Amino acid sequence: QVQLVESGGGLVQAGGSLRLSCAASGSIININAMGWYRQAPGKQRELVAAITSGSSTNYADSVKGRFTISRDNAKNTVYLQMNSLKPEDTAVYYCNVKGVHGSAWWRDEFDYWGQGTQVTVSS
């Protein structure tokens, strides 16, 4: 079993910054891709940023130059630094972690989502 705990959301004025964190724990053997998605009311969930085990990154065009994704492999944690926030960034942000978990007797791939954290940007 793998647990994801998100933190760092909140209310901020336009132009402000927030930093989201997502820590994974449990019987993790290795983590491959980690990412952040968001879902605004009435819209589909969309990819915001992703980072591979080799630290290659991918960003949605709407956040390039403003958001930075990073990971701490020792802590099994992924971060999203969000600068120059805009009202259109308002959404529930979810982390997603893919990897392998198990023990000496079994192993299996996993693909888990965090519980979501609200980010609200006021104009």
Instruction: Give the list of residues 6+ apart from residue 115 with CB closer than 8 angstroms, or none.
Output: 4, 5, 6, 94
pLDDT value at 1 more than 90:
no
Is 113 a residue whose pLDDT tops 90? Answer: yes
CB 50, CB 33: distance < 8 Å: yes
Q: Which tens digits make up the pLDDT trace of 67-109?
A: 999 999 999 999 999 999 999 999 999 999 999 999 999 999 9
The pLDDT of residue 63: 98
pLDDT digits (tens, 9 = 90+) for 19-42: 999 999 999 999 999 999 999 999
Paired with 57 in beta bridges are: 51
Residue 13: what pLDDT? 98
